[in-house]
Structure 1
Amino acid sequence: MPPILHSAGQWLYARAENLLAAMLATMFIVFIVQIVFRYLLNLPIGWTHEISVVMWLWMVLFGTAFVVRDSEEIRFDILYSAVTPNIRRAMIVASSLTLVALFTISLPAVIDYIAFMKVEKTAYLKIRFDYLYSIYGVFALAMIVRQLHLCWQAVWGRGSEEFDPTKASSGI
């Protein structure tokens, strides 16, 4: 990979992490505001709940699409570590192609549903649901690209390093 693309990718990854951190901070601040208004001021407010739910939805889907690395994904490590590297590569190819097929088949319906949701708005902030759910379309496209990349790497013998259970972690 050319150095300019590598550095651009690193910069974009860092900005995606920054955006994810901003979403988490927003969710936390709104949660504290909700507690203060509900329990200290005895004035329950609903918009804080809406923002918390939206931030959670976007954090999970945006984070999975752009921040979480493949090595941090959940696997059945007992089975995955017990097989040879060639079988491991075959498992990656099979699972990647399956996910690409499922996401690709569902994509037209997903886009159609997101477009349909423009008729609905949230109760308090009046945000159109198509804007809120658009992250799922982005997530689906990112998963298709990611899985095709993983499949390509596995087919050509890259990306399936020897599994070392002593180096397995929770991603932290």
Structure 2
Amino acid sequence: MLKQLKNVAGFIGTLSYGVLFVTFIFQVVLRFVFNKPLAWSDELIVILYVFSMFWAGAFMLKEKDHVMLDIVYEHLGDQGKRVFCITYSLIIGGLFLWAIPASYSYVSFMMREDTPVLGIPFAYVFSAFILFLAAIGLFYIRKLVILFGSSWKEEVGAVPHDPKNAESVE
């Protein structure tokens, strides 16, 4: 079931970015080859870009694909990594979940404003941001559950020492 949801999320993200790309090429051809610029294509590209970035950040990227500063983290022991993961999961997840009500209120408020050319309510344009906040917040709640469970070493990347394997860590 989870794999099917990931496939659907990947399809939606790929489709939105594909439509963005085709619209961009269409716009370039009309503007520079036929000297017939289109107003709606610029707006559609921006809307699809906003949607695609938040959608991909929420549902398509793995944690290791997000920007991370692991200079200190890599030099910590297993327990230190666990404390570090718990701390940043509480901070990041907490902030994202804390931001949902105010963000939802603002996005709902934007229902009264429409995009200039296509007339799409801005609430629809930025609704992917609410999904982004919720997905990342829930991801870190899940991570906290794992970090407080028995399989926390796998979550922090602890590798048992193996003298035959040069990549193992003590």
Amino acid at match of 2:86: V
State whether structure 2 residue 114 is matched by structure 1 residue 114: no
Residue 27 of structure 1, CA deviation? 0.8
Question: Which of 62, 70, 80 is the matching residue for 1:69?
Answer: 62
Bigger mean CA deviation after superposition, 137-146 or 99-108: 99-108
Q: Distance in 1 between matches of 2:158 and 2:67?
A: 17
The TM-score normalised by the length of structure 2 is 0.86
Could you tell me which residue of structure 2 aligns to residue 26 of structure 1? 19
Residue 146 of structure 1, CA deviation? 0.4
Question: Which of 138, 156, 162 is the matching residue for 2:158?
Answer: 162
For structure 1, the residue ranges without an aligned partner over 5 or more in a row are: 1-7, 167-172
Give me the identity figure in percent: 24
Amino acid at match of 2:79: N
Q: Is 2:93–2:139's contact at 8 Å kept on the other side of the alignment?
A: no
Could you tell me which residue of structure 2 aligns to residue 5 of structure 1? none
State whether structure 2 residue 147 is matched by structure 1 residue 151: no
Count of residue pairs the alignment pairs up: 157
Residue 110 of structure 1, CA deviation? 0.5
Could you tell me which residue of structure 1 aligns to residue 81 of structure 2? 88
Q: Distance in 1 between matches of 2:38 and 2:71?
A: 47
Residue 103 of structure 1, CA deviation? 2.0
Q: Distance in 1 between matches of 2:98 and 2:9?
A: 27
Q: Distance in 2 between matches of 1:20 and 1:145?
A: 19
Residue 71 of structure 1, CA deviation? 2.6
Q: Distance in 1 between matches of 2:20 and 2:105?
A: 29
Could you tell me which residue of structure 2 aligns to residue 97 of structure 1? 90
Q: Distance in 2 between matches of 1:95 and 1:20?
A: 27
CA RMSD, 1 decimal: 1.5
1:136-157 CA deviation, whole Å, 9 max, x = no partner? Answer: 1111111111011112212222
Amino acid at match of 1:76: L
Could you tell me which residue of structure 1 aligns to residue 163 of structure 2? none
Q: Distance in 1 between matches of 2:115 and 2:7?
A: 31
Q: Is 2:92–2:137's contact at 8 Å kept on the other side of the alignment?
A: yes
